[in-house]
Structure 1
């Protein structure tokens, strides 16, 4: 019981791009215009940050490519993304988290799953559920992953897990899971979620979270002839 009470709260990270037309959610265009795709990206990011606001944490870091906007809620520290490929940027995010709170677990999610529920993360990250868990893995329906948590993010572990990992392929998630298991880590599996990449993904996610900002934004643009089909 003493160890549970002394467990440090987790560091939560979101990795994202600023929702600028032409730079985000490009696979939504067509049928969306670049401006509509950026509006959906902004709504997804706002939903994600609001959800993580409801997950108990010691610190919240937005690892951002671009500039923050009015969508950024209070209490989030903005950390610029490092250079290099996505694998390098992810590893650098964990390194920053480890420097900030070396004894705390770190969980990173993307901006593409606005349907994620706070309880889905709060319960497995709670001090009572963390003993014996080395990593948290959230697979995406397209074969990628939407979440990765490390109980001990410091040192070289994140680099061994992420550097050289093939990104944006149907086997990215499995390749990451293989690396987790090769490190002899005890992995807690989070549910499979749908990443928003295409308009079909967007409609599915909006149906799963009808009260979200994302769903409201999709409804608002859904009457446009090019999107309604």
Structure 2
């Protein structure tokens, strides 16, 4: 019991691009304009950071490509992304996590994430015996990856060379977790916001969030322009 109570809280890592028109959510254009796509990206990122701000954590880090803006809530430290492909950037994000505590990495594309469920999954009693957490995405990718004992070497072993943004991306990562002998806890499957259809689905799932409000605004402008 003493060991469970002394278990350190996780490090939370969010990897994201600054919501600049023309650089984010390009698959939303069309029907969105680049400015509307950036508006949705900012809302998704803000909702994600706000939700994770409510989860117990030892440290909260935004691994950012770009510059922070007024959407950044208090309590988050910003560190720059490295260069290279997405696989290398994801792996490098874990290098910012202190050893001795678990780390959870999520993206900016799932503002509907259930922070209460995540907090339970990473609670000291529930996480006992778990080596990794894996959140599958509906498109075949993944929206979350957690490591109980993160090291840069393990992160590279799991992620370097994985083809990103394919239907088999998540399966490849899950295979590597198994090959590394890690006991994996599956998190719920979520939909990434990539297309307008995805945005509408996510807004329906989390209708009270800032992302849903932004989608109602943007979709209304799209309909009015037709």
Same fold (TM over 0.5): yes
Segments of 5+ residues of structure 1 without an aligned counterpart are none
- Map 1:1-229 to 2 at 5 A: 1-97=1-97, 101-225=98-222
Query: How far off is 1:223 after superposition?
Result: 1.6
Aligned length: 226
Segments of 5+ residues of structure 2 without an aligned counterpart are none
Cα pair 1:32 1:227 within 8 Å, conserved? no
Query: Helix, strand or coil for the counterpart of 2:220?
Result: coil
Cα pair 1:139 1:191 within 8 Å, conserved? yes
Alpha-carbon RMSD: 1.2
Q: Rate the CA distance shift 1:225–1:68 in 2: closer, same or farther, 3 A.
A: closer
1:73-94 CA distance string (max 9 Å, x none): 0010001001111111111110
Structure 1, 1-10 or 133-142: larger mean CA deviation? 1-10
- Give the TM-score of the pair, scaled to structure 2: 0.98
Query: Helix, strand or coil for the counterpart of 2:8?
Result: coil
Query: How far off is 1:227 after superposition?
Result: 7.6
Work out the CA distance in 2 between the residues paired with 1:160 and 1:28: 32
Cα pair 1:221 1:227 within 8 Å, conserved? no
Structure 1, 107-116 or 148-157: larger mean CA deviation? 148-157
Cα pair 1:44 1:213 within 8 Å, conserved? yes
1:110-165 CA distance string (max 9 Å, x none): 00000012112100000111110000000000000000000011151111000001
Cα pair 2:94 2:152 within 8 Å, conserved? no
Query: Helix, strand or coil for the counterpart of 2:40?
Result: helix
- Give the TM-score of the pair, scaled to structure 1: 0.96
